[in-house]
Structure 1
């Protein structure tokens, strides 16, 4: 409570139903407690009140600290000092030294209001120890009354109803020497049936057997660790009293036993925590346990708004979940319009169609099985992909038989297609079921069949799907769409009467959906695609391609709808799965045509456009009447640049540093939630390599960052590695620049972000030169036209992407070589000769834009024509270059053994290496765990 004025605390306590009250010396914090609680003040400070609490209802005493912090930085330092001096003893404290977790909230997202300002100033932070005592806790933002602050109601329970756990295959089982023998013996027992039913029955039988085997062989992992520790303690005491060979052998045996059971405990918690970056061996069960606690705490649904009523009873919540999603995923009795056949044309050959339906081979099934992530979460039957990888030689015949039966058209048994639905919150504090994202956890047996189909579809999708669709089509990248959208935004301003307008449409999704770790019910889904099934993305883009082809026909029939932008290629829409952007003009008639088409698409395919979340942007030259016309016809909201598309801000202008503020905040928030004191330096290094350093890469690929942004991000990495967080400063024994080298070069095998940025720029140049996407084709038509890309002049009026390419082209071209096929590459400016482009070897006043095939005659070199312009030594070398007739010219990356570009090879090619010392590579060998190697 925040009185700020003198008041009779005991009178207020009685009115509120509490036993007593205490306030801090500044009279800014009041703390009330009830009859069954004993309270003692430990620290009374102007900015905090630190109390000790005890109750018969709790398993142990607790510490609670209420904070009312000063806004001045200097005065707030006194608060940090007071918090550090607070002694917490052995009881759970609501405040920890680090790794605090925001307890979240339900209700309004804001706790403080002042006129038009509103912020979330008040919050509850808890430690992992607190979550252990109170695994079930909820913070509610109460309604405003007389105060400008909302009240925070904290409800916590120290006992949670034990749920019936379902079978889950444990990865630690695979490390036992008896495991494969147990599986082989059980698998060979006779089974009735064949194909899919046979495989399902064997898995069911094995599941029951493994449960009993686990109880006998592994037992309780935590009890085993405690017993091994006691055994080692007794063995050490026996050896100290009688240091003979017998006690030494017993001590070594007990030590080995402890290492074995600790490895099992580590594997158990690592699998439960879902940590993939710790494969190198961060043996830190406390860290994994803390992550599991946070996941459980944040994933528990304490209340939900359903049909106008706020539900808090667990049974009512489960029933409402099953009811909501059953209605959502049951097909409605609609009668869609007949699909226009002209939209469904494809470029498949008869051979392509046969390749989709031919019976699979054992090698194809193996490829499908091992393409599934072994650490992926298992489906309802509990067997994850790690089981199929480990036991492949035992189960291969039955898996192949099941897949073959499926391709013969047999119906899948019920257990094959059963799916568990996990709910992932879309917002920080979801209040209704529509604010959860459903993820389908399918059985691996089902995934194998759909994965095989997905691999086959991947070979033909590029021939079927429109170039404007980049999602889930092999060879097309998300960054291609972002780069092309950025290029079109650069041309947003138009001096023509009809201003340009860009629409960003939000598609309403419908998917399948476990509630609080339990199955609330079973229902039969009759519509929607399962997000989590390998086949769903391919099916979705096939359906969405109808939209692309329909838009193409609409714009072709109405040329005035085309977006006004320079260049030879007209782009009217971009798609990445269901993320859609449409580029057109503000003419009211065009808006009417677009609205009619979108409504027809909704009726045909049943996919709805969320009008309240869809938006549009216009240029500064668009009049208010044009903007209003767009809003009147389509009903979308007007937004201003920058806008976010596929996780990247689209912008205009030269200021770029502020665009990286969200990613920097995300990194800091991510580190705030990590249990830093539970991680060794080796664990932190593994986390930096696998997750933290990868976080900003998506943005760095498409936006060239200022140097200040890279310095800020690398300071965050370096501070995390050396243990600096919040206001806790530790000595940084080395700069981050010295860490960005290999071990033999006295580094930590991390890569500098500046090097990444240059490598990404070279990747953009590579894709631009190879014309491998709609984005590269558009840039060629816009900026090159009658000029070769290597001689296009730098222009400050060009887009930021174009100028980024101009800055890197001289470096990147040095590593590009062309092998001749159809001979369309430039005779003078492309490097097909071997050493350099001929323009750099043969000096002329002017270089005509001629292709290589101009100097061919009937598939061979036209020697007389070559000798007219090329000196004899070079002409002889040219005539020895082979021509691969009937094939296309191939762009080759000289720094790669395969000829294909890779970011790593580009980074290695341009970085400045330090002197190597083989001794360092021998001592800090990669076989050592980072936990040990960094310590050394």
Structure 2
């Protein structure tokens, strides 16, 4: 994954900048290939596929696709005769990225040969860590080697061989280098002269992520916030409908910070700023006018089946993405990233039961993600436990707990299990049977009761350790974002349930609003459903609500509760 590559790169950079031993004499060399796709040599590509063991017929098919390209040049308004090139991959072709990976395999092969011959040295950040000499992702290449004239000469020879065989060409002016804190001035100048690097500087971004420099402050992520703000300002001029706003918020604005959120932990203030940008765009159309928020953010940033709009809370979503990264480290312990991070941060333990260093690298944010979502199962003899929990149930810091079941449930078919729905809670009479079949039955599942008690159980979402998604981690983050103690009352139930299995307080108010849930669960088109949700949830502007908010109405309505528009209210 791209985030694994970035995590390893940031850890290596942090090591060479802070290390006081021999690791501080290494450097990071970022390559820049000029027109990488256009310079791919067809002969080398065919030879690489043969060397890798591809079938002859398959190679013929691939080369037929590659060599079928034709170009024509327009001269004085007329097209000249088409001609066939002898190199290059077509931009936009879905096959081109995979073919370029085959070409790029030549560089790590040459580097590994030099390492086996003990001509180059790998960077090992600690004793048990695997050696890192290069990190490749598509056409982005990052090399690590000791900064001296001998090592730089070896690297230069490897790059020249790679250029000669594959047809690629480096742009020395665009390449960047990061020298370790223990590199002497003479070795640094010799390395830069041999590699033809003009000045010691490293790019501000690597793989689309800001390169950590000390503490990661909000200023490093300012471009992300500016892009979101600019997008919303451009859209505000078009006076979109609520449906168009919802689609753009979910598909564009909330997707912009996802890449950075999967690696770094955003501050609370930055998450609040991102949420404010979304709120202002949702409730208003003009950029220079204060917006009236007719419904709290905590009530709309929840799933629709709980009465919200389904917007993502940036803070919880960031926490969920980091928890998923921690889950990948647990699920795939043999991956390079997992072995690399384990050797540095928890060599003698596991991610879930290790006390981490107080001064980790800025890129190591996975260690801070599990604690907010860590949950312990209720004790078997706890007075607040409504059912027993299996003794061998395993709880991970980033996995959802298994659902509570009655200990007397049969082990046979689910139909024979003695968990019955509460009879006094039938579907509302105004919902017909065929409409009820289309409903989200998750609401009614929450009414399932224990066989030996009268308390209703909030069923926790169980996600197998074999797979997890960011949606499940968001649910975990919500469940652990409970700021109240004691017992809770989910979904309008009179009977309390334990805090561990209760819905979080952030969307409990929305869950208690039956009208909001019924608006989304009803079987009708989206536009009328959204209007019903707006009316039932009390987010329509009128004179009565304006007076409650102490918002003066310029054109107001004479009668209390009469309809008004957003333009009727002053700032």
Per the normalisation by structure 1, the TM-score is: 0.39
Map residues 482-521 of structure 1 onto 2, 5 A cutoff: 482-493=6-17, 494-496=19-21, 499-509=25-35, 510-511=37-38
Contact 1:564 1:585 in 2 (8 A): no
Contact 1:710 1:754 in 2 (8 A): yes
Alignment pair present for 1:547 and 2:100: no
2:328 is aligned to 767
Deviations 1:627-662 (A, max 9, x none): 211220001244546721110012132232111111
Contact 1:682 1:932 in 2 (8 A): no
Greater strand proportion: 1
Alignment pair present for 1:672 and 2:198: no
2:292 is aligned to 731
Alignment pair present for 1:797 and 2:323: no
- CA separation of 1:642 and 1:524: change in aligned 2, threshold 3 A: closer
Contact 2:34 2:169 in 1 (8 A): yes
Q: 1:580 aligns with which of 109, 121, 141?
A: 141
Contact 1:529 1:536 in 2 (8 A): yes
1:929 deviates by 5.5
Deviations 1:686-706 (A, max 9, x none): 110111101111111101111
Q: 1:922 aligns with which of 518, 524, 535?
A: 518
SS at match of 1:580: strand
SS at match of 1:601: helix
Alignment pair present for 1:715 and 2:311: no
Comparing 738-747 with 705-714, greater Cα deviation is found at 738-747
Alignment pair present for 1:652 and 2:213: yes
1:545 deviates by 1.3
- CA separation of 1:903 and 1:634: change in aligned 2, threshold 3 A: same
SS at match of 1:608: coil
Q: Distance in 2 between matches of 1:666 and 1:674?
A: 12
- CA separation of 1:638 and 1:700: change in aligned 2, threshold 3 A: farther
5+ long unaligned stretches in structure 1:
1-476, 816-831, 839-892
Q: Distance in 1 between matches of 2:73 and 2:531?
A: 43
1:918 deviates by 4.8
Q: 2:131 aligns with which of 538, 547, 570?
A: 570
1:538 deviates by 1.4
2:97 is aligned to 537
Contact 1:618 1:627 in 2 (8 A): yes
SS at match of 1:674: helix
Q: 1:602 aligns with which of 141, 154, 163?
A: 163
Contact 1:794 1:806 in 2 (8 A): no
Q: Distance in 2 between matches of 1:805 and 1:664?
A: 25
SS at match of 2:87: coil
Deviations 1:4-27 (A, max 9, x none): xxxxxxxxxxxxxxxxxxxxxxxx
5+ long unaligned stretches in structure 2:
39-68, 378-389, 397-459, 479-503, 533-571
Q: Distance in 1 between matches of 2:246 and 2:323?
A: 27
1:787 is aligned to 349
Contact 1:616 1:637 in 2 (8 A): no
Contact 1:740 1:748 in 2 (8 A): yes
Q: 2:467 aligns with which of 875, 900, 918?
A: 900
Q: Distance in 2 between matches of 1:596 and 1:641?
A: 22
- CA separation of 1:600 and 1:810: change in aligned 2, threshold 3 A: same
1:527 is aligned to 87
2:117 is aligned to 557
1:553 deviates by 1.9
- CA separation of 1:765 and 1:716: change in aligned 2, threshold 3 A: same
1:593 deviates by 0.3
Contact 2:27 2:144 in 1 (8 A): yes
1:919 deviates by 3.9
Deviations 1:883-935 (A, max 9, x none): xxxxxxxxxx9833693111111112331242254543332358655554444
Q: Distance in 2 between matches of 1:926 and 1:596?
A: 68
1:718 deviates by 0.8
1:703 is aligned to 264
1:569 deviates by 0.8
1:694 is aligned to 255
- CA separation of 1:734 and 1:909: change in aligned 2, threshold 3 A: same
Deviations 1:100-139 (A, max 9, x none): xxxxxxxxxxxxxxxxxxxxxxxxxxxxxxxxxxxxxxxx
Higher relative contact order (CA 8 A, sep 6+): 2
1:490 deviates by 1.5
SS at match of 2:358: coil
Q: Distance in 2 between matches of 1:664 and 1:485?
A: 24
SS at match of 1:530: coil
- CA separation of 1:811 and 1:898: change in aligned 2, threshold 3 A: closer
Q: Distance in 1 between matches of 2:527 and 2:241?
A: 6
SS at match of 2:168: coil
1:308 is aligned to none
SS at match of 2:210: strand
1:544 deviates by 0.8
Per the normalisation by structure 2, the TM-score is: 0.62
- CA separation of 1:725 and 1:555: change in aligned 2, threshold 3 A: farther
Q: Distance in 1 between matches of 2:282 and 2:328?
A: 35
Q: Distance in 2 between matches of 1:806 and 1:720?
A: 31
Q: Distance in 1 between matches of 2:313 and 2:528?
A: 24
Contact 2:307 2:520 in 1 (8 A): no
2:373 is aligned to 811
1:909 is aligned to 476
Q: Tell me which structure has the larger Cα radius of gyration.
A: 1
Deviations 1:779-824 (A, max 9, x none): 1122222233333222122224445425515835869xxxxxxxxx
SS at match of 1:702: coil
* Equivalent pairs, count: 389
Deviations 1:176-203 (A, max 9, x none): xxxxxxxxxxxxxxxxxxxxxxxxxxxx
Q: Distance in 2 between matches of 1:639 and 1:671?
A: 38
- CA separation of 1:687 and 1:631: change in aligned 2, threshold 3 A: same
Q: Distance in 2 between matches of 1:759 and 1:583?
A: 32
Map residues 4-403 of structure 1 onto 2, 5 A cutoff: none
Deviations 1:538-560 (A, max 9, x none): 11111211211221222232366
Q: 1:622 aligns with which of 183, 193, 204?
A: 183
Q: Distance in 2 between matches of 1:653 and 1:594?
A: 29
Contact 1:682 1:933 in 2 (8 A): no
Contact 1:740 1:747 in 2 (8 A): yes
Deviations 1:817-843 (A, max 9, x none): xxxxxxxxxxxxxxx9732479xxxxx
1:534 deviates by 2.0
Q: Distance in 1 between matches of 2:95 and 2:211?
A: 31
Contact 1:744 1:918 in 2 (8 A): no
Contact 2:16 2:180 in 1 (8 A): yes
2:393 is aligned to 835
SS at match of 2:27: strand
- CA separation of 1:803 and 1:902: change in aligned 2, threshold 3 A: closer
